[in-house]
Amino acid sequence: MTFIDTNVLVYSADKRDLSKQVIARGLIAIALDNCQYVVSCQVLNEFANVALTKLAMSEDEVCDYLSYFRRLQLQMPKQEMTERALDIRKRYGIQFYDALIVAAAEAGGCDEIYTEDLNDGQMYCGMKAVNPFKEFDNNKQGEKANEQNA
């Protein structure tokens, strides 16, 4: 099972970064064809907030995206997850809401978390954080360095 964090959903709707949009949409297309991908209510709520504010989408557009994401497995919040997130936060020294993502992924039986917010390749509670945009980000940094050296 793979957990999908908010940034993947946001990039799928973000027209300002077409390269990341293509990657995110590809991941989501695979996820929708496969029952092995999980999101949490937190992820959907964060997506809605970012879509309304930073992406300036209408409520109807946000609802359309949420309907599209409905086919992903949904990990519902439980009090135990909040308590577990506090333990995870303390253990790994990460922000509370990132720890809540890890707790939701753990509760969903995931072995990977697709996210930009955690250290790529690091293990959290037996799950590997994977930044699906890492190669793109590395290429972008290399291009900037080449421009500065030119």
Q: Give 42-54 pLDDT, tens digit per residue.
A: 999 999 999 999 9
The pLDDT, as a whole number, for residue 147 is 47
The dotted CATH code for 2-149 is 3.40.50.1010
Phi, psi (degrees; rounded to nearest 5) at 130? -125, 120
**Residue 137: is its pLDDT beyond 60?**
no
Percent of the chain with pLDDT over 70: 90
User: What is the residue extent of each domain of the chain?
Assistant: 2-149
Token couple for 20: 């990341």
Res 118 pLDDT > 70? yes
pTM more than 0.85: yes
What whole-number distance in Å separates Cα of residue 144 and Cα of residue 150? Answer: 10
Average pLDDT, the chain: 91
Average of per-residue pLDDT across 13-22: 94
pLDDT of residue 145: 41
* pLDDT score recorded for residue 149: 46
Model pLDDT for residues 62-105, shown as the tens digit of each residue: 999 999 999 899 999 999 999 999 999 999 999 999 999 999 99
Own/partner pairs for 74-83, CB < 8 Å, 24+ apart?
Answer: 74/38, 74/39, 74/40, 74/41, 74/44, 75/3, 75/38, 75/39, 75/40, 75/41, 75/104, 75/105, 75/107, 75/108, 76/40, 76/41, 77/40, 77/41, 77/42, 77/104, 78/107, 80/107, 81/107
